[in-house]
Amino acid sequence: MFGFGRPTAKISAPRPAAVTVNGRDLPLTIRENARATRMTLRIEPGGQALKLTIPKGLPGREIHDFLTRHHGWLMTKLARVTESGPLAQDKTIPIRGVDHRIEMTGRLRGLAEEIEIDGIATLRVSGSPEHVGRRVSDHLKRVAKLELDAMVRTHAATLGRPVRAIAYKDTRSRWGSCTSDGNLSFSWRIAMAPVFVIDYLAAHEVAHLKEMNHGPDFWATCTQLCPRTKEAKRWLKQNGSRLFAVTF
């Protein structure tokens, strides 16, 4: 994300619906905010789209000029988000932070299985080739539930706070959420991250059961539950987009 002062030129022009970066046409969502005094551009998780917040009534020419001036910034940032392409035999997928080579079993049925072959972490996947993505995502959902269910219960018990329900979704805007009545939700894509990062996400949402904000007391509680909070936050900031970019 970056923001810059509002330019002064006001020449009429259509507002762009997409931006071409590194040969890719990325959809651009433009949202007006009456309280905004500058333009703010965000790359959506996974690097598949852009979001631009602008002051109310800003002319299209100013938007075009802004995007032109910062095209280099977009090229640099988006170059770091590599598209994985379709999952298939011999492709790799991270599970709990460890890259696993995908190996097709040739069988039509059966759950995906994590094993080691000649010292190489491997995920054996059944079914037809066109269903590899679905089989892998189903496995990641099981891993996320296995890890997070246990971590959430442990952290909630430490704080003495009840958890009403835990849901798993393929969210693209945030890794998790927590409601005041104890409903927690997580992106199952976190199963691709290292275990300490998964634990941080569990601690983060459980901490909200005590502090429904991101103030100093919240972060103190989060760090109490997960001592590696700062390290995990840094890991997600550096690698989160890569996990969102995996296509299933």
For 115-124, what is the mean pLDDT?
95
Instruction: Give a yes or no: residue 222 inside a domain.
Output: yes
Domain co-membership, 225 together with 112: yes
Contact 127, 108 (CB under 8 A): yes
User: In this structure, are 74 and 101 located in the same domain?
Assistant: no
Residue 86 lies in a domain: no
From 50, 79, 108, the end of a domain falls on 79
Does 60 lie in the same domain as 113?
no
**Amino acid identity at 163:** V
Bridge partners of 69?
none
Q: What percent of the chain has a predicted confidence (pLDDT) above 90?
A: 68
Q: Residues 118, 216: one domain?
A: yes
Q: Do 159 and 53 fall within a single domain?
A: no
d(CA 89, CA 25): 29
Global pTM reads 0.74
pLDDT attached to residue 11: 45
User: Strand order of the sheet with strand 98-104?
Assistant: 92-95, 98-104, 120-125, 113-117
According to DSSP, residue 220 is labeled H
Residue span of the structural domain in which 66 resides:
2-79
Helix, strand, coil percentages (3-state) for the chain, rounded to 5, are 40, 25, 35
116 shares a domain with 216:
yes
Residue with the bigger pLDDT between 228 and 57: it is 228
Mean per-residue pLDDT of the chain: 90
If asked whether residues 41 and 155 sit together in one domain, one would say no
Q: How many separate domains does the chain show?
A: 2
Domain assignment of residue 159, yes or no: yes
pLDDT in tens, 136-171: 999 999 999 999 999 999 999 999 999 999 999 998
Residue 247, C-beta contacts closer than 8 angstroms, at least 6 positions apart: 83, 84, 85, 86, 87, 133
